[in-house]
Structure 1
Amino acid sequence: MVLAASAGFVPDRPDLGHRAEGVDLADPAFFADSLDPGAPRLLPPAAYRALAFAELEDDAVWTCSWLTIGLGAEISSPGDLLPFTAGHHGLHVQREGDGGLVGRFNKAQHGGCRAVPLQCRTGTKTRCSFTACGYSRDGTVLPAGRDGPTPAMHQYLGLRPERLLPVAVRAWGPLVRINLDPGAVPPEAPPEGLAALAAETRRAEFACNWKLALQALAEGERFSETSDSLHLTGRLATGEAAAIAVHFPNLVLIEARGKTCAVMLQPTALGQTLLRIGLLGSDDAEPADRETSRESSWEASWEASWIAWQAEIAARMAPAVAAQAALSGAANAAGLWLQQRIAARVRARPAITDTQPLFATAQGRGC
């Protein structure tokens, strides 16, 4: 029996399968035509527009991978909190008093709602006053107050944050990575010699699915790969040489102009992707370097660097927006690699043998 979506009932039931547009999205045959190295193509359109495929990705990718969510420098003080919604799950990372990091599921996974409203089950992150909801859009970093957690943090922390479900978290060089599985094997080693050039990330949003966004950002010639990363050579829109690295599933590093632009992808809708962008540089460039020059001169140079990188990202993303409109065409080297990884994760999911729901609501009981 297939359960119809209704207000107050959560229809994502992996034991019922993931079907849309008349096909089984988890069937290896769904991926087959798109994984030919000789003629790589985009996945079928359902992979970029069907809520069922987003739920399959939640099951196979977002809940069992090392996700990159921001810069460690963004939460430098004890108590600072960095939110990130992974798939349908509201999470956060907080700086501890000893300088370490702790990751947790948010206290209010569904905001103040007793159940997930139907309008939140559309594949689009909603703008909601309950900002810790797993279906709402993330806010920015929450700095700690003088006396500890602020009222705005309550939706994340509750009264006893130590009782919240833990999330694995690692300081990965200057970046922060999380895994919803607290027992996950640590990620591969980060690139050496990188540090955040400033304690900020900037955001840009584009009208395309996250898979198309990653493919466009990582345009280049395949150079080498590991189990969870792909390395390419390419050129910027200005013609300058660039080294590009993709770390599955949502981090692209573009090295050029003496800096490394870190782009972290986060789906905000089936056809919408938010980019969290940070600038990295050599770890021997101390913050004190700014103080040796005039502040106004440094700020002008820093802003010019941001403008150049934002223009580069916008140029790279233009083909992704066009591809979202067409939902057909060839996959580049990064796109093929990503599709291969997703297909492998789907195949590797544990088989579901128990069909008993793990939860029930007033409308769900008896189904």
Structure 2
Amino acid sequence: MQRRPDGGLRAGFNVLQQGSCWTIPAQCGHGHKTNCPYVSCAHSLDTDALRAQDGAPTREMRQFIGFNPLKLADVPVRTAGPLIFVTLADPLPSLDDQLGTLAAAARREPLGRLRHVARFWAVLDCNWKLASDALFEALGASPESGRLEERLATSTVVPSTGATHDELWSAGAAAAWEPLRLDDGSGVRLWRGFPNVVLAALPNHAAAVVVKPTKLDGVALVVSLFAYGPAEGTEVDEAAAALVAGWRAVTAEARARSRSVQPAGSSPIHAHARGRIADDGAPTGRSSLH
């Protein structure tokens, strides 16, 4: 996926796997399972967003798209609030049909006006179908909830911290961010969309968590944080670091829980996956968040 000079987005799929890469590409150099010296290898760990140099593609960008733009087949790309989605489904379903509960959540007007403030990666030791269970539990949701959408009171304790959501996100520099003020006053809201995204709306920020499989029993979480501007006179870096510190505690708890989490009939993603995974193990007709 590329940001065009006019600010729009273009998504493409390399229809010729050998992208003229004579070495392991940068985007999969740290993967646990690299079966191919070209792009499109399985279970790779991508880099963060790559910046062009004065408008010209860099070596890493060339490894994604190749030197011949005709090798790229265009892929539908859509946005919902601050999130970007692509899908390989044919015929193309509507975004709402693909995302279900997550669609309304992503389009909440307050979330659409937030700006990106921080991003970090974390690792869980479980299969991707169980990652959102571990994350929900780390945020204080009941292990037996078994729902795609969860509402928590701001007085709910975040297990690893011993603090409530309200205390965790309103302490120290984290208090600098403006309140999120969701229109329904429902406190903490959590949504998970099949196959690979968790969206959270908390007292003064929101988070989008992408679950990236790295091996059969391991995933990387890409946690992106969004918020309104901090109070006047507050350093943005300090305020963002406070949010990241809180989320690192949450993901550390999720990692500890991921080592013991087991498939259960109550896990909605696991149940959904059983019905949506094709014989070759690939999700069919669903959207992915990037």
**Where on the TM-score scale, by shorter chain, does this alignment land: which range?**
0.5 to 0.7
Residue number in structure 1 paired with 2:223 = 277
For residues 280 and 183 of structure 1, the distance between their equivalents in structure 2, rounded to whole angstroms, comes to 33
2:127 is matched with: 209
| Cα RMSD, aligned residues only | 3.4
Shift of residue 202 of structure 1? Answer: 1.1
Counterpart of 1:344 in structure 2 is 275
Paired with 2:132 and 2:145, the residues of 1 have a C-alpha distance of 17
1:28-87 Cα deviation digits (max 9, x unpaired): xxxxxxxxxxxxxxxxxxxxxxxxxxxxxxxxxxxxxxxxxxxxxxxxxxxxxxxxxxxx
1:50-199 maps to which residues of 2 (within 5 A)?
A: 93-106=1-14, 109=17, 124-126=32-34, 132-135=39-42, 136-181=44-89, 183-188=91-96, 189=103, 190-192=106-108, 193-194=110-111, 195-198=113-116
Instruction: Quote the residue 1:23 is aligned against.
Output: none
Q: Aligned partners of 1:308, 1:299: CA distance in 2, in Å? A: 14
Name 1:293's counterpart in structure 2: 233
Sort the Cα spacing of 1:205 and 1:329 in 2 relative to 1 into closer, same or farther, 3 A. Answer: closer
Q: Name the SS of the counterpart of 2:164 in structure 1.
A: coil
TM-score under structure 2 normalisation? Answer: 0.67
Aligned length: 231
Indicate the residue corresponding to 1:364 in structure 2: none
Comparing 105-114 and 93-102, the one that deviates more? 105-114
The 1:211–1:347 alpha-carbon spacing in structure 2 relative to 1, beyond 3 Å, is closer
Distance (whole Å) between structure 1 residues aligned to residue 146 and residue 13 of structure 2? 35
1:181-330 aligned at under 5 Å gives the runs 181=89, 183-188=91-96, 189=103, 190-192=106-108, 193-194=110-111, 195-198=113-116, 200-219=118-137, 220=141, 230-234=148-152, 235=156, 236-237=158-159, 238-240=163-165, 242-281=188-227, 285=228, 289=229, 292-294=232-234, 297-323=235-261, 328=262, 330=264
* Displacement after TM superposition at 1:275 (Å): 0.5
Contact 1:253–1:261, Cα closer than 8 Å, also in 2:
yes
Task: Tell me the distance in 2 between the aligned counterparts of 1:184 and 1:252.
Answer: 23
Q: Cα offset for 1:142?
A: 1.0
Matched letter for residue 209 of structure 2: V
Q: 1:347 to 1:299 in 2, by over 3 A?
A: closer
Task: Give the TM-score normalised by structure 1.
Answer: 0.54
Structure 1 unaligned blocks of 5 or more: 1-92, 115-119, 350-367
Give 1:197 shift: 3.4
Tell whether the 8 Å contact from 1:232 to 1:243 is kept in structure 2 after alignment: yes
Distance apart, 1:223 and its partner CA:
8.5
Report which of the two structures shows the higher radius of gyration computed on alpha carbons.
Answer: 1
What code does the residue aligned with 2:95 have? P
